[in-house]
């Protein structure tokens, strides 16, 4: 009898793995209740331990910079996948007064962890803030960028580093307040820990 009940509970766990947690948790509770009234065999206890671990993971909220944003939840892959494919890039302006790089650039559908920090070639089109005559005024804005990598790498003296060159042809503003991609954007101690010359990487 106990093995039959445990089988039903494990079946509910499998349902939760491919669907919403809430209905499956109700099924698990209903299946486990009769077991609480009797002694548990060792093998059955192991099965229930696995169920308990799953329930804990199911209820865990997102943490860090992704708390409160779908960006860090299971729907993140869907959000990236929702970006239509095409001959363009997604750019996030990352302005630090002492440095000459423009910001991070990635392909649509790819996570920010794959983005490259670039030097912007503005011979064909001025970057948005320079075009507006307000350098750095668009820090952390997100753009759709038309253009591409030239294949050249450009030396940036303040950081003593070499970055890929991106040739800008056009742009379109996506958001002035996009979801956070840096640890410092979590606020509090994380923001205070970032030094003025520190170059962050997207998460």
Confidence at 198, pLDDT banded by 50, 70, 90? very high
In this structure, are residues 29 and 62 in contact, taking their beta carbons and an 8 Å threshold?
Answer: no
24 band by pLDDT with thresholds 50, 70 and 90: very low
Split at pLDDT 50, 70, 90, the class of 73 is: very low
* Range with the poorest average pLDDT among 130-139, 159-168, 190-199: 190-199
Q: Give me the residue label for tokens 């494990």.
A: 10
Computed over every residue of the chain, the mean pLDDT equals 76
In whole angstroms, give the CA distance from residue 101 to residue 104. 9
User: Is 50 exceeded by the pLDDT of residue 37?
Assistant: no
Q: 157 falls in which pLDDT band (50, 70, 90)?
A: very high
Which of 50-59, 91-100, 176-185: highest mean pLDDT?
91-100
pLDDT interval class at 191 (50, 70, 90)? confident
DSSP H helices, the chain, are 2-17, 21-32, 42-59, 76-81, 128-132, 189-192
Cα–chain center distance at 4: 41
Residue 202: pLDDT band (50, 70, 90) is: very high
Residue 116's pLDDT band (boundaries 50, 70, 90)? very high
| 101/2: higher pLDDT | 101
Q: What is the per-residue pLDDT for 190?
A: 73
Give the residue carrying structure tokens 């960006």.
71
pTM score = 0.65
Residue extents of the structural domains in the chain: 2-60, 76-179
pLDDT at 4: 54
Q: Within 13 Å, how many C-alpha atoms sit on residue 79's CB side? A: 12
Instruction: Give the 3-state secondary structure of residue 83.
Output: coil
DSSP 8-state secondary structure symbol assigned to residue 86: S
pLDDT at 82 over 60: yes
Burial category of 55 from C-beta neighbours within 10 Å (exposed 0-12, middle 13-18, buried 19 and up): middle
d(CA 88, CA 195): 32
In the predicted model, is pLDDT for residue 12 greater than 70? no
How many angstroms separate the Cα of 167 from the Cα of each of 36, 123, 194?
66, 8, 30
């Amino acid at each position: 009898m106990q093995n039959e009940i445990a089988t039903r509970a494990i079946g509910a766990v499998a349902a939760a793995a491919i669907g919403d947690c809430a209905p499956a948790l109700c099924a698990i509770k209903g299946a486990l209740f009769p077991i609480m009234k009797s002694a548990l065999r060792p093998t059955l206890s192991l099965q229930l331990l696995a169920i308990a671990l799953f329930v804990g993971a199911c209820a865990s909220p997102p943490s860090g910079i992704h708390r409160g944003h779908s960006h860090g939840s299971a729907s993140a892959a869907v959000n990236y996948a929702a970006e239509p494919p095409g001959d363009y890039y997604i750019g996030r302006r990352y302005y630090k007064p002492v440095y000459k790089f423009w910001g991070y650039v990635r392909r649509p559908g790819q996570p920010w962890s794959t983005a490259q920090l670039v030097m912007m070639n503005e011979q064909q089109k001025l970057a948005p803030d320079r075009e507006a005559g307000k350098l750095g005024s668009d820090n952390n804005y997100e753009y759709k960028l038309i253009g591409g990598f030239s294949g050249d790498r450009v030396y940036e003296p303040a950081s003593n580093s070499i970055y890929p060159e991106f040739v800008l042809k056009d742009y379109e503003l996506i958001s002035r307040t996009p979801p956070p991609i840096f640890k410092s954007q979590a606020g509090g101690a994380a923001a205070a820990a970032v030094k003025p010359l520190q170059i962050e990487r997207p998460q």
